[in-house]
Amino acid sequence: MLYARSRRLGVAMAAMAGSTVLLGVLGHAQAVPVGSTLSVTVASTGLMGVNAVLDRTASIRWPPRRAAHLIGMAVLAGLAGLPAAVPPGVVARDALGQAGLAGAGVTLFGGSFGWCLPFAALVVTYLPGLARIPVATWLAQPAGSTPALVAALAFGVIGLLTYSAIGRGRV
């Protein structure tokens, strides 16, 4: 319970609910990148504890717990799209990749800037020069696009490994 509170679970859940509403109202596949980024970036602020020094004194094995947190975040962000009329495969893929990027972002830049990488991925999606490169614009690819799935899986695995092994950055 304390862990949930210290990791801002409430805010994260609210953001996912907000993203569900957003997707439901817009009901358009083009809203998926924005919706998944919204839930993941907001939840990413919970990837760091309130006090890192205090956390380190606890006799818990942190890596499995951090991995579980990140996986849970990806699953919830993926589930957030279910009630809306958008392809669930796309939502799940985007949630996975963005959660991985958030984990990598928190490792690199610390909890308050962890959103930078998923946010950058969202912006890159709309860059005109990259429209023909599916790996770069993986967030907006249609369901069943292999390059987009590979990109999302790669980001997911990289994020999971770095975040669970290293944890939040010291920035």
Partner 1 sequence: MTGRVLHIELRRSIASWLGAIFLVLTLGLCYGLTGPWGKGSGAWLAQWASLAQWQRYFLDFTWPAVFALGAWQGSRQRRSTMDELLSATPRPAWQRAAVLAGAAAITLTLASLVFFAIGAVQVARSTGYFTLGWLPTLLVGILAVAAGVVAGMGIGHLLPYLVTPPLVGVLGFGLMIAAQWTPSSPVPVRVQLFSPVLPGAATAFVTVAGSVHIGQALLFAGLAASGFLVSVVRGVRARIASVLPLALGVALALAVLPGRPATAYPADPGAVALVCDDHGPRVCVTRAHQNLLATLAGPGRQALARLAVLPGAPTTVIEIPDSGSQYVSLLPRPGDTVQVDLNDHETRYWGFSRLDPATLEWSMLLGAGTEPCATVLPPGAGPDADLLARVIAASWLFDGGARPVLADDPALASRGPGFAQEADAAEVALLSLPRPEQVRRVAAVRQAGLTCQGDPLALLTRGSAFR
Instruction: Please give the residue ranges that form the binding site for partner 1 (CB under 8 A).
Output: 8, 11, 15, 31, 34, 37-38, 41-42, 44-45, 111-113, 115, 119, 122-123, 126-130
For the bound state, the minimum distance from the C-beta of residue 31 to partner 1, rounded and expressed in Å, comes to 8
For the chain, give the DSSP string. Answer: -HHHHHTTHHHHHHHHHHHHHHHHHH--GGGHHHHHHHHHHHHHGGGS-S-HHHHHHS-S-HHHHHHHHHHHHHHHHHHTTTTSSS-HHHHHHHHHHHHHHHHHHHHHH-GGGTTHHHHHHHHHHT-GGGTT-TTTTGGGPPTT-HHHHHHHHHHHHHHHHHHHHH-S---
For the bound state, the minimum distance from the C-beta of residue 105 to partner 1, rounded and expressed in Å, comes to 10
For the bound state, the minimum distance from the C-beta of residue 130 to partner 1, rounded and expressed in Å, comes to 7
Q: Which CB, 35 or 78, lies closer to partner 1?
A: 35
